[in-house]
Structure 1
Amino acid sequence: MLTLQPAEWAKPRGFSHGVAVDGPGRWIVLAGQTGGDEKGDYAPDMAAQVGTALRRIVKLLGEAGAGPEHIVRLTWYLTSREEYQAAGAEIGAAWKETLGRNFPPSTLLYISGLVDARAKVEIEVTAFVPKV
């Protein structure tokens, strides 16, 4: 994968502007993952829910023989700008724990709610595993 970063643009923090994928491989598309655990329970705070959603993503990628380094796109749906901004340090720690230093293209959207009213975040993922 080639990270798209025009030389004259400031390098973004926590994401990349785009990636180009060339060659044979396998695409993986995950449904939006929320912060609900295996039993369907939700922590009350956004940071914990983001951590759970990211762990679910890593688990699903593993099922497909992939890892965080194969993610080429994230779309985040968040129910509160204020909660997201207040939880920045904890969300950053959850990111580092699960996705490491991988910063794929990301889009964050603030919405009025998700299907499960307890959910504060849902994250969609597209990944690409090149053939070796």
Structure 2
Amino acid sequence: MLVSDTARKLPATNTILNPAGWPQPKGYANGIKARGEMVFVGGMIGWDTEFKLPEGFVAQTKQLLENIVAVLKEGGAGPEHVVRMTWYVVDIDEYRNCLPDLGKVYREVMGRNFPAMALVQVKSLVEKDARLEIETTAVIPD
């Protein structure tokens, strides 16, 4: 799923929070101030509608982000409304080694919306072949 150019803009009611003198983060925000109706997406993994996981970290990430967008759509939201993501990965080095390709996949699905994010390495996930899981919060402006 590709994000349209109009969906790449932050809603006017959201404010990126970056204290004066701090460097501009790349690929995420230090904080977001938002007002509106909230949509919470539980921990998603990168399986398809037949519960099959694609091979590899980047492929799972792409499917996972598409899954998030599908749930957001059910709630009347889109990628542009996402204000927070928490990524859980089973191998931080695998994540780091994929960064250039991850950036491309992220922008393809989520656009240029870079919410407040956290990344945590975990020992394992419930689905043993899953490489990552992401929780997401979106805010639809009033």
TM (normalized to structure 2)? 0.88
Instruction: Give the secondary structure class of the aligned counterpart of 1:122.
Output: strand
1:80 is aligned to 91
Could you tell me how far 1:6 is from its partner in structure 2? 1.4
Structure 1 residues without counterparts, runs of 5 or longer? none
Structure 2 alignment gaps of length 5 or more: 1-13
User: What's 2:46 paired with?
Assistant: 35
What is residue 102 of structure 2 aligned with on the other side? 91
**1:18 and 2:24 are equivalent in the alignment:** no
Q: Distance in 1 between matches of 2:94 and 2:54?
A: 13
Moved segments of 4+, more than 2 Å: none
The farther-off stretch of 69-78 and 38-47 is: 38-47
Please state how far the C-alpha of 1:7 moved relative to its aligned partner.
2.2
CA distance in structure 2 between the aligned counterparts of 1:112 and 1:21, rounded to whole angstroms: 33
Distance in 2 between residues matched to 1:111 and 1:44, nearest whole Å: 19
- Which letter does structure 1 place at the counterpart of 2:22? W
Measured on the aligned residues, the alpha-carbon RMSD in Å equals 0.9
Code of the aligned partner of 1:14: G
User: Which one-letter code corresponds to 2:124 in the other structure?
Assistant: G
- Bigger shift: 50-59 or 36-45? 36-45
SS in 2 for 1:39: coil
Paired residue secondary structure (1:41): coil
Opposite residue 105 of structure 1, the aligned amino acid is A
| TM-score, length of structure 1 as denominator length | 0.94
Aligned to 1:5: 18
